[in-house]
Structure 1
Amino acid sequence: MSLEKVLSISGKPGLYKLKTQTRTGFLAESLLDGKTINVSGRHNVSLLSEIAVYTLTEEVPLREVFKKISEKEDGKETISHKVSKEELEEFFFGVMPDYDEDRVYASDIKKIVQWYNMLVKNGLNDFSEAKEETKKSEEGTSEKPKEPKKPAAKKAAAPKSTAPKASSAKKGGATKSAASRKT
């Protein structure tokens, strides 16, 4: 399973696997205890595949950070997320030497380390991009030339429909200014 189906739900501990969609939200299975919960639209949910870490030059996807940790630890679990702030920052500097220390807090590093260990413990250590995502990006590039054509057609039709409105707006504007002059 890839990171596209792994969720973080605010207010709930740990990570969750997306199982199925329901009428009011979706069902997710906890990676901590295996229990299934119903997640409604009022919960703040983040897909791990959409999270990135700030560096001094760019934003690095969490997937890349997990890959670097995995390479450093040979695919095994890493340090505990319960170690001191200094140890966490030192570890993360070894993994991402150019991370932005002003925007990546110790609590963020703690969460990344905890998530990494949880994923490895549950056998979800394939941090490569999903094949579906690659297909979507390829389809997206083939559709991009089509998108500018649609707005161009709308723009061509728009002046015809707005021209009479513009002239009637001028008449209305002249009437108002003439009325204001009389008083």
Structure 2
Amino acid sequence: MNLEKILSISGKPGLYVLKVQTRTGFVAESLLDGKKVTVSLKSNVSLLSEISIYTYEAEKPLAEIMQNIANKENKGQAISHKEDNAKLSSYFREILPEYDEERVYPSDIKKILNWYNMLQERGMIVDEAPVVEEEVAPVAEEVVAEKEKAPAKKAKAKKE
């Protein structure tokens, strides 16, 4: 699951996809309504790929937790983030049994489940396809072959 360009912007609902970086910030598109917003560098922005969840041994990346939810739900919707805290904690314990209950708050669990369901609705919960390098080489060879077939351009003589 690739969360590289998915953002959470403090003070704004939902998730955003990073579109363009500008000199003073960047432009992001909302996953809720598709509207584009400009965000300054002063805003508190979190890349989902950089978020980790506390466990008793170490921190687990959010992408791994989202993948665990996807595996449990067979890539379908997870339980609603509006369920009561006891049910959410029980569900999250099934996903990540070793999560640190003292440092991972119910609000964190709600946020993760809300984000997962939002990404799932948009069809963004997919397995990462392995990169196949063999397909790149023939394409490069075709480009080189095309350049060799093309007649060389003659340089224009400069008039003095």
Say whether the fold is shared (TM-score over 0.5).
yes
Distance 1:127 1:7 in 2: 19
User: Which position in structure 2 is the counterpart of 1:91?
Assistant: 91
Determine if contact 1:54/1:99 at 8 Å carries over to the other structure: yes
Which one-letter code corresponds to 1:107 in the other structure? S
> Which residue in the other structure is 2:57 paired with?
57
- Aligned-residue CA RMSD in angstroms? 1.6
Deviations 1:117-160 (A, max 9, x none): 000111111364996xxxxxxxxxxxxxxxxxxxxxxxxxxxxx
Q: Partners of 1:126 and 1:48 in 2: how far apart? A: 15
Quote how far apart the aligned CAs of 1:17 are.
0.2
The equivalent residue for 2:78 is 78
Moved more, 60-69 or 121-130: 121-130
Tell me which amino acid in the other structure corresponds to 2:26: F
Q: Which has the higher helix share?
A: 1
Q: Structure 1 vs Structure 2: percent identity of aligned residues?
A: 56
Any conservation in 1 of the 2:3–2:63 contact (CA below 8 Å)?
yes
Tell me the residue number matched to 1:8.
8
> Rg bigger for which structure?
1
TM-score (norm 1): 0.68
TM-score, normalised on structure 2? Answer: 0.78
Gaps of 5+ in 2: 132-160
| Counterpart Cα distance in 2 of 1:106 and 1:83 | 11
**Separation (CA, whole Å) in 1 of partners of 2:8 and 2:113:** 14
Count how many residue pairs are aligned between Structure 1 and Structure 2: 131
Instruction: Structure 1: state its 5+ residue gaps.
Output: 132-183
Q: 1:23 offset after TM fit, Å?
A: 2.2
Distance 1:52 1:23 in 2: 29
Q: For residue 69 of structure 1, what is the amino acid of its counterpart?
A: I
Which letter does structure 1 place at the counterpart of 2:118? M
Corresponding residue number in structure 2 for 1:21: 21
What corresponds to 1:103 in structure 2?
103
**Where does structure 1 differ by over 3 angstroms across 4 or more consecutive aligned residues?**
127-131
SS in 2 for 1:46: strand
